[in-house]
Amino acid sequence: MLGFIIWIVVGGVIGWVASMIMGSPEGTLLNIIVGIVGAIIAGWLISPLVGVGTINQGDFSLGALAVSLLGAVALLAVVNLFRRRRLG
C-alpha cells in the first residue's frame, strides 16, 4: 500500500513539473494522471532506448524520474497540440 501512495505522489510531482515546463498548469488530479500516463508512454518509447526504467516499473532512480518526466512532457505537448488545433 505504501508503494502505491509513493507512486501516486511521485506521479503527481512529475505531472506538476511537466505542466510547469510546458506552461500549462493543470489541477492536482490531472497532474497525477499526466505523470503516470507520461511514465507509461516513456516506458514504451524512451526506456528501451536509454536502458532505464520508469516510476511505473518501481524504479525511483534519478534516471527513471527523468525518463518519466520526459514522457509526461511529451504527453502534454501532444495534448496542447490537439487543444490548439480544436480551438483554432
User: What are the CA-CA distances from residue 19 to residues 46, 49, 52, 69 (Å)?
Assistant: 19, 24, 23, 10
Q: Look at the pTM and tell me if it is higher than 0.85.
A: no
DSSP string across 15-30: HHHHHHHHT----HHH
For the segment 43-52, what is each residue's pLDDT rounded down to a tens digit? Answer: 888 888 888 8
Residue identified by cell 505531472 is 15
Tell me what the mean pLDDT of segment 45-73 comes to.
83
> What integer pLDDT is reported at residue 88 of this predicted model?
57
Mean of the per-residue pLDDT values of the chain: 82
The answer to whether 46 and 67 are in contact (CB under 8 A) is: yes
Q: What percent of the chain has pLDDT over 90?
A: 3
Q: How confident is the model over 1-23, as a mean pLDDT? A: 83
Decide: helix, strand or coil at residue 72.
helix
Residue 26 in grid coordinates: 493543470
